[in-house]
Structure formats: structure tokens, C-alpha cells
Amino acid sequence: VQLQASGGGLVQAGGSLRLSCAASGRTLRNSVMGWFRQAPGKEREFVAAIRWSIGNTVYADSVKGRFTISRDNAKNTVYLQMNSLKPEDTAVYYCAAGYGAILSEMRLIRAYDYWGQGTLVTVSS
């Protein structure tokens, strides 16, 4: 699977961005698609994930109520709508695809087999 993330940029606190992750090379039908982020000097952390087949989602507590993950079957693309952005959301955002992960594993980096190149989100105060 090849993953191409896009949509990052510079936004003021309180603003919104929508990230996209286009997938190719393998069906996503049996996958879990996730978004992770990595801020400078910090470890990569889970943001949100969606099970492609049935659409159930999980979120990190830090983004719950502000971010929404969704997918478009026809476009083989997963989105991350980010609202009410805060300076602490500043990071490189990565999308990832995993096959075989169970629900309880969707927050774990090790559950994902393929990673996109990352897109930078900068939130100014």
C-alpha cells in the first residue's frame, strides 16, 4: 500500500484544517486506517483511527470532540477534519494502514504495516 498524505499547513489557533490520505496498491477493505502525529522532540502518538469495513472510530482523548476521521470508499481516501486547533496540535501528521488489527490495537503503532510520508501542521497562537 502506498499512502500519500496532504493538507497540512499553517493555521491560527481556533482554525481548521482537513488532512487527506490517498491510498493505492491494495484494497483497504480489511484495513484499519490511522492518523498519528509527532511533535518536535516527542514520540509519535496516536490521534485517530477508523476500521474501513464498518466505519467504527477511536480517538485520542486530546482530540476527541475536535477531530473527526472519515473515509471515502470511492476515492480510497481517509480524512482527518481538525477543528478548534490548538498550538499543541502542531506536529507532523502521518497516516497509516494496518491489516489484522483488532479493535483494542487500533491505538498502537505496531498495529500498522504501512505509513505515509507525513504532512506538517503548524498552529500559531
Question: Measured between alpha carbons, how far is 79 from 93 in angstroms, rounded to an integer?
Answer: 12
Cα–Cα distance list, 121 to 75, 88, 101, 118 (Å): 23, 10, 27, 10
Q: Quick one: pLDDT at residue 18?
A: 98
pLDDT of residue 19: 98
Q: What is the pLDDT of residue 100?
A: 79
Could you read off the pLDDT tens digit of each residue along the chain, which spans 125 residues? Answer: 999 999 999 999 999 999 999 999 988 888 999 999 999 999 999 999 999 999 999 999 999 999 999 999 999 999 999 999 999 999 999 999 999 777 778 999 999 999 999 999 999 99
Residue 107 CB: number of other CB atoms within 10 A?
18
d(CA 101, CA 70): 18
